[in-house]
Every structure is written in structure tokens, then in C-alpha cells.
Structure 1
Amino acid sequence: MSPHDWLAAEQAHQDRVDRYAKPYLARRSAGQKHPVEDFLFTYYTQKPGQLSRWHPGAGVVLTGPQAQERLAWKYYRPATAEELREMASEGAAVEGVTVDVDKFLKDRREAVAFALIILAGTAARPAQFGCFGLHEWAMVYRQDKFDLRHEYLNLRLGSTGTDQVIEENKIRCTHFDAYRFYTPDAIPRNELTLSRENQRTMEQPGCLHANMDLYKWAYKLTPLLPSELVMDCFELSWRIRAMDMQASPYDLQDWGYPPIRIETAEGKASYVALQRGFAEESAQLRAKLLAALEPFARRLEPSSSVPTN
């Protein structure tokens, strides 16, 4: 890519990130919290500054003097003469940089392998749509106000009403990273016993959190993947988070998020309809991630170890 092209792409990406990151950074500076819109920056390990760095993805050569700055970035290297041959004209010298795929795969082999296992395994399983978002309710089951994860929020049905919803419904969560935040009394109420060890066999494409995690797998594979794909996953995750919290036990109307009342039949139907829509969107992005990773999958040696997340 010439500087004219890639600098424009870089600016477009930074503008796209700023829409989400700038309000979060302003709140953080003011000591304020947002129960919905802070999540992608506080739960996930990718920070706004990291997200705002634009990457073209593996196999793309960036030319121009500005590109040389990336040699100080992790997993970039100078482009070879062969990689630059098509861009040279009439013997003019051209310099460029590109993603150092070999170094990335050497350092991050297990992360790539585990992402492939989760993405491919999830894509191959049937979607389940009977959870109704009860994982968020299980995280506050039989908890005092000051023990809540979001202690500054009120429960829409109060503590007693919230507990009653849990006791009158079956909890069918398949996602370990939601299950691990359950209260002790809620854990035995889940139909499945989940663990990091069985995560690879439990993830399924109807799960909101599994679909939010497409963003996690995408940024963990940066800079192999183009930033446009990473941001596609981020924005999907952003919208899923909003729905997830609308269906939660918290009262978020004053924050601009009307409730999905999953304690009612109508609320359950609304939840499933939205869940199915997100599952379809996620399937498309999951396929794109797998297609982008397919060339690297053949270069990985089998690994029996399971990374922690």
C-alpha cells in the first residue's frame, strides 16, 4: 500500500475507534462509570491505545517514510526485495514494512491454535437459544446490595424478585467466562458444570458471550488480522453487550437502556429473536476470522496445551 492509501485507512480506523474510546477515556478521567459502555475496555485486555493502532494484516507491505516507524512496533519487519519488487519502478528505491508472521507464530503459536479450536468448534455446533440471559441474574443471586458486581445500580425487581426469577427458571449457560462469575448459590443451579478445561467443547454459536468474544480472539491475533475486521468484531460485541445488559436484572432505564423483561413470556420471545439475529451476524464474522487464519493453521504444529484465556 502506498502512503496515500494506508494513511487514509489508518485515519479512518482511528476515527472509528474514537467514537467509542473517547467517551470512555473522558469518563475514566472524571472518575465515572458506565455499566454498559465501559465493558469492552475494562473486561477485555485490549486498551484504547492498542485498539486505535491500525494494522493492515499479514501479507501487506506499507511503503513510505512513515511506515518505517512501525519497525519499532512488535511483530513488524522490513519488507524483502522480493516483496517490494512489484512496487519498484525504473530502478527507484522503495522501502517498506510488513507484519513479521514467522515471529508472531513462533511467539503466539498456542494462542493461534486455541483460537482456531474455539472458533471452528463453535461454528460446527448447533446454536442454543434457551438461556434467556440468566447468567447475569446468576451473578447476583442471593447477594446483598453491597456485594453486587455493579454496586451503584439497582435491581429492577429487587433482591427477592431477582432470586425468584432464578428459582423459577432453568439456567442453561454454556460459557465458562460467564459461569465463573456466578455466586456460590447459583453455581449448582446451572445445568452444566463448566470449566476452562471443557471450554473448547461447550462453546456454541447462540451464546451472546461466545459471540462477544469474537472481538477477543480478533485482537489477540493482532497484527495478523486487519484492523477493519477487528473493529467489525468490536462493534458487534458492543451491540451484544447492550442487549445482554438490557436483559440483566439491573435497572438501566435512566442510562438509556430499556429492559428486556426475560421474566415474562413476551420478554423471553424478544430475547430469543434478538439472540438469533446476533447469532447470524456472528456466524458471518466467525467465518471471516477462520478464513483469515486458515493460511496460518497449516503452519502450526499440534499442541496439547490449553492456554488460560
Structure 2
Amino acid sequence: MAVYTEEEAREAARAHRARVRPFTEPFLERRATGRSHPVEDFLFTYYSHRPAALQRWHPGLGNSIAVGGTEQIEQETWKYYRREHGQVSVDLAAFMDRQLTNARFHYQLLANTLDATPRFGCFGLHEWAMAYRAEKHGIRHSTVPLRLGSSGTNEVVESHTIACTHYDAFRFFAPEAVSLNTLQPSRQSQLKLEQPACLHANMDLYRVAYKLTPLFSSELVMDCFELAWDIRTMDMQASPYDLADWGYEPVKIETPEGKRTYARAQREFSARAQLLRKKLLQTLDLIPADLRTDFSAASS
């Protein structure tokens, strides 16, 4: 458990902002001029965590900042912090009073996914299923063309087995692709179906990390963010969209070589994600038993 001096906390905050800036600044510049990026904007548009919030430095549960005077430090002005005995730290009682249900659900999701059997071999076909029958429905990324055209995209979908386990990908499937999925994920079945090979489940570690701010250190949140960033890049490279004009080489999952490339990356992402899941759970395990009612039952 770390106790930061005020100067150490300021330096950690500066270092954190420097880590965040290469991701947030280009997005903010594009937004200010009405431009968009089909790959890099995703983490700021799909997820609800604002760039300004991502730039804030949090020491994390169990850590604190030693303060010498009466003047407030910036963390004290944020939600779920308190000063006690000359130290500023997370006000865990206040957080759990408001966020118990949220924390319980995410603990269960993390624990269940950590222990689930990974299902490799989906080859990113969820993105193709979203673009199925584009000649009828159009495509989600309307500014980016389909690499194989509409008929070629349809052929890839129809010639493969689609086995998407992630509800928040499945819910964007084209209507005709829904019945082609071997599973029918729902919000109610999420805790049972989520599994650690899924690219979207692993991207969503970032969502878990920021949803439970300020329990997790900013370092851990950014580790999750950077994993999500890398996965998003791969997800779009393996998608049916032609991103050559944006500088992205396609991962042609309709070919044997493309499938091998995708499978290698999927396993690497899964390994990174499992380590982060363990770290997130280790932080939540610091919550005293009397404040985390039913956590253990939720994960069983």
C-alpha cells in the first residue's frame, strides 16, 4: 500500500497525463473540427468515459496521499474521496453505499470470465455479421467501403460458422445474421456466456475499470485502455471494411493465413486480458467483507 507525498502525487499525475495525451489529443482535435476516425475514435464514442475524466490521476484503493496543510488537493474535490488523519484516499464506505450493485455485478463478470473456457476460432466474424446484407441495410461505418463489396461480405458470412458469445456485439448483427449465430446472447445470459478469448469482452475490461473509478489506480485503468486500443485496431483490420486509406493492412480472415494471424493475436490479447482481470479482482478483494455483501456468492 503506497502513501504518496503531495509532490509524488503531482508527479504521478503529470506522468499519467503524459501517457494519456497521445490518445486523447488527436480525438479532441478531430472533434473540434468535425472530423472522425473509424478506428481511433471508438474508445471515446462507444464508451462513456470522457477524455477529461481519463486524464485524472487516481492512486487507487488502498493507496493514499499524505497532506500537510489545510488547503484541498484536487482529489478531494472529486467524488468518493475523503481526508482523514492527514491522508486523502478513496471514501470506500460512500462508494459502496452508492455502487454496491454495480461493483457486485462487475466482480461476478470478472470472476466468471476469468474461469471460463476460452473459445478461440471466431475469427472476428461478428463484424462481418453486422455488415451482412449491406445492400439492404447499409453499413455502420458508412464512410468506409467494404473490402469485398456487399456480395463478397455476404459470401464470407454464409460460408463460415458464426459463434459470437458477446451480447454487445451480437445486438448489432444485421437482422438476417441473427439466426446464423450458433448462440443467442442476451443481457441476462452475459454472466454465463462471457469468455476470455472474446475480443469485445477483453476490450470491456476498460469499461469495468472506469465504471468503478476511483477504486482502480490510473495505471491499471490505462493498462486496460491500451489493451482495448490494440484490440480495436485488430478488430477493424479483421473486419470487412477497407481501411487502406487510413493506413491499416487488412487481416484477411477469409483466407487460411488471415485466420492464423487472427488466432495468434486473439491468444495474445486473451493472455494480456487475463492478467488484467486478476489485477482488477485483486483490487476488489481489498474491499472489507462487511462492505462487499454477496461478492463471494456472486462469483461462485
Same fold (TM over 0.5): yes
Tell me the distance in 1 between the aligned counterparts of 2:241 and 2:136: 12
2:55 aligned to which of 48, 52, 55: 52
1:178 equivalent to 2:169? Answer: yes
Q: Distance in 2 between matches of 1:97 and 1:284?
A: 29
Cα distance change, pair 103–61 in 1 and its aligned pair in 2 (3 A): same
Code of the residue aligned with 1:125 in structure 2: it is A
- Residue by residue over 1:137-178, the C-alpha shift from the partner in whole angstroms, topping out at 9 and shown as x without a partner, is 011100238721110010000000000000000101000000
Corresponding position of 2:226:
235
SS state of the match for residue 88, structure 2?
strand
What is the aligned partner in structure 1 of residue 125 from structure 2?
A: 134
1:302 maps to which residue? 294
Paired residues for 1:112-127 under 5 Å: 112-127=103-118
Unaligned runs of 5+ in 2: none
Alignment of 1:38-117 (within 5 A): 38-64=41-67, 67-79=72-84, 81=85, 95-117=86-108
Counterpart mapping for 1:268-283 below 5 A: 268-283=259-274
SS of structure 2 residue aligned to 1:144 = helix
Pick which of 168-177 and 294-303 moved more: 294-303
Partner of 1:195: 186
Structure 1 alignment gaps of length 5 or more: 82-94
Tell me the alpha carbon deviations over residues 218-259 of structure 1, each in whole angstroms, 9 at most, x when there is no partner: 111110110000000000110010000000000011111100
Letter in 2 for 1:121: N
Would the alpha carbon gap of residues 290 and 297 (structure 1) be closer, same or farther in structure 2, given more than 3 Å must change?
Answer: farther
Q: Which position in structure 1 is the counterpart of 2:212?
A: 221
SS of 1:249 mapped into structure 2: coil
Matches within 5 A, 1:249-268: 249-268=240-259
Check whether the contact 1:154–1:250 (CA below 8 A) recurs between aligned residues. yes
2:37 equivalent among 34, 42, 46: 34
Residues 145 and 151 of structure 1 are in contact (CA less than 8 Å); yes or no, is this contact kept in structure 2?
no
Residues 62 and 286 of structure 2 are in contact (CA less than 8 Å); yes or no, is this contact kept in structure 1? no
- What's the CA shift for 1:2? 0.6
Q: CA deviation at 1:20?
A: 0.1
* Kept after mapping to 2: 8 A contact 1:68/1:96: no
Q: Deviation per CA, 1:74-111, whole angstroms, max 9, x where unpaired?
A: 101112x2xxxxxxxxxxxxx43211011101100111
* Alpha-carbon distance in structure 2 between the residues aligned to 1:291 and 1:302: 16
Write out the 4+ residue segments of structure 1 that deviate beyond 4 Å after TM superposition. none
Corresponding residue of 1:2:
5
Q: Deviations over 1:187-210 (max 9, x none)?
A: 000000110000000000000001
2: CA distance, partners of 1:150 / 1:116: 33
Matched AA of 2:50: K
Contact 2:106 2:208 in 1 (8 A): yes
User: Per the alignment, in what secondary structure is the counterpart of residue 210 of structure 1?
Assistant: helix
Q: Give me the whole-angstrom Cα distance separating, in 2, the residues matched to 1:177 and 1:191.
A: 16
- How far apart are the structure 1 equivalents of 2:46 and 2:31? 14
* Contact residue 61 and residue 98 of structure 1 kept, 8 A: yes
Within 1, Cα distance between the matches of 2:130 and 2:288? 37
Identity of aligned residues (%): 50
- RMSD value, Cα: 1.6
Q: Give the letter aligned to residue 242 of structure 1.
A: T
**Aligned residues, how many?**
290
